[in-house]
Chains A and B, each alone.
Chain A
Amino acid sequence: MDKIPILRMGPFLLVTIQVDLYDRLALNLETDLVNMVHKTGARGVLIDISAVSIVDSFMGRILGNIASMTRVLDAETVVVGMQPAVAITLIELGLSLSGVYTALDVERGMALLQTKLGSDDELIDDDADNPE
């Protein structure tokens, strides 16, 4: 059975979804990811969905769930590389993924996580998308 690899990168976890997620796979990813955050004590999770072309409401909810769960474990989640069609679909489904940070690509997602992590104390900052 397919498994989505979770890579460790310093204090962050990197997940690159290269296949279209079906429900079972998404659920497994959720479990694996939460376990992994717990085990490694990661401070940030970066999920790259640039290769995902189809999403449904379930997948949207899973993403939201992952963000909430990791937040409980004191890690931020950034979703990067969403395709325009995917974004439009999610909005039309009424899922705006509030609470999930987003970035254009992996590079900017990493930078975002780093500023989030590096400047816990100086949150006056430049990221106006920080909803507090």
Chain B
Amino acid sequence: MTSSIAQFLKKNKARLLDTWTQKQLASDTLRDDLMTNDELRLQSDELVNLLVKTVNDDNINQIESSSFDELFELLSGISMSRARQGFSPRETGLYIFSLKEAIFELLQQELSSDPVLLFQTVLKFNRLLDSFGVVTFETFIKGREEVIFRQTEEISDISTPVIQVWDGILALPIIGTLDSARTQVVMESLLQKIVDTGSSIAILDISGVPAVDSLVAQHLIKTVSATRLMGADCIISGIRPEIAQTVVHLGIDLSNIITKASLASALKHAFSMNKLTVKRVESEKKVL
């Protein structure tokens, strides 16, 4: 019975798939809200097919061998897509471990006459499927991390919108702490927008910045200098009294930068720089 494992798998492929699918469907961790049963069947089918194709007596003891690469790749794919679909780690883990149960069940039926061989074979499969579980878990976590990373990026993009408030005037409300990475994003999007819109004035509103320390101030000064190099003027607005106090206490020199207390006064200043006036329209029926 040397090539038993490959033979066994080949012979029992259909049964294995059936047993496994039944196990999954019977399991209380089945999530038919996230994945249809057909999809699940298809996925399992693919995995079992590859498993049957790959595993034989020679390599079942060498999990690191390159012959498993394709299989691990498929597993990673499944696990990654499950992570994105919102499966819990438990559900994803049990998906693989239920395959183990199915195999054991079939092995038991097949080899009931030879307990020693049964035990040895079970041991081999156990090791293999455990490593499947580990791979699944690793990629699951990686998938989740990717989701988190993407969300973090999106948040940082969304939280620094560059708004054109008037023809030639941009406003950039900064919400949250300004760190180096953030400054880079702010600077890039602001400068690009200056080029795109041909705006000559940018208002940097820091009313949403919780605290200004020397590092944040340095980042602000950097941004202002960069806009100046582009040929635009930069006004910093939304300076709260406590920020004014810290800035002075820290000895940060903002005297070369136009600073305003509120966005409104910054806008007013921008208007006057662009030689614009805003007037209240006299009512039609003013005097009777």
Binding site for B on A (CB under 8 A): 79-84, 86-88, 90-92, 96-97, 102-105, 108-109, 126, 128-129, 131
23 contacts between A and B (CB under 8 A): A82-B229, A82-B230, A84-B192, A86-B229, A87-B227, A88-B184, A88-B188, A88-B191, A91-B187, A91-B226, A97-B229, A102-B228, A102-B229, A102-B231, A103-B231, A104-B232, A108-B200, A108-B231, A109-B231, A126-B272, A128-B233, A129-B233, A131-B256
User: Are A84 and B231 in contact, with the CB atoms below 8 A?
Assistant: no
Count class of interface residues, chain B: 20 to 34
CA distance A5 to B225 in the complex (A): 29
| A103, A109, A126, A129: most-surrounded residue (chain B CB, <10 A) | A129
User: Are B225 and A96 in contact, with the CB atoms below 8 A?
Assistant: yes
CA distance A109 to B232 in the complex (A): 11
User: Are A96 and B233 in contact, with the CB atoms below 8 A?
Assistant: no
Instruction: List 6 additional contacts besides A84-B226, A88-B226, A104-B231; criterion CB under 8 Å.
Output: A88-B184, A91-B187, A102-B230, A104-B195, A126-B275, A131-B256
| A91, A92, A103, A108: most-surrounded residue (chain B CB, <10 A) | A91
A interface footprint on B219-249 (CB within 8 Å = 1, 0 otherwise):
0001001111111110000000000000000
B273 on the A face (CB < 8 A)? yes
Nearest residue, chain A, Cβ from B200: A104
CA distance A105 to B197 in the complex (A): 12
Cβ contacts under 8 Å, A91 to chain B: 187, 222, 225-226, 229
Task: Work out how many contacts link A and B, with CB atoms closer than 8 A.
Answer: 65
- B85 to chain A minimum Cβ distance, whole angstroms, is 38
Nearest residue, chain B, Cβ from A112: B231
Interface hits, B171-199 → A, CB 8 Å: 184, 187-188, 191-192, 194-195, 198
- B252 to chain A minimum Cβ distance, whole angstroms, is 15
CA distance A104 to B202 in the complex (A): 13
Binding site for A on B (CB under 8 A): 184, 187-188, 191-192, 194-195, 198, 200, 222, 225-233, 256, 258, 272-273, 275
Q: A102-B230, A108-B231, A128-B233 are in contact. Are A87 and B200 (CB under 8 A)?
A: no
User: Are B273 and A87 in contact, with the CB atoms below 8 A?
Assistant: no
Cβ contacts under 8 Å, B184 to chain A: 88
User: Are B187 and A88 in contact, with the CB atoms below 8 A?
Assistant: yes
- B89 to chain A minimum Cβ distance, whole angstroms, is 41
Cβ contacts under 8 Å, A102 to chain B: 228-231
User: Are B273 and A126 in contact, with the CB atoms below 8 A?
Assistant: yes
Nearest residue, chain B, Cβ from A80: B231
Cβ contacts under 8 Å, A80 to chain B: 231
- A132 to chain B minimum Cβ distance, whole angstroms, is 11
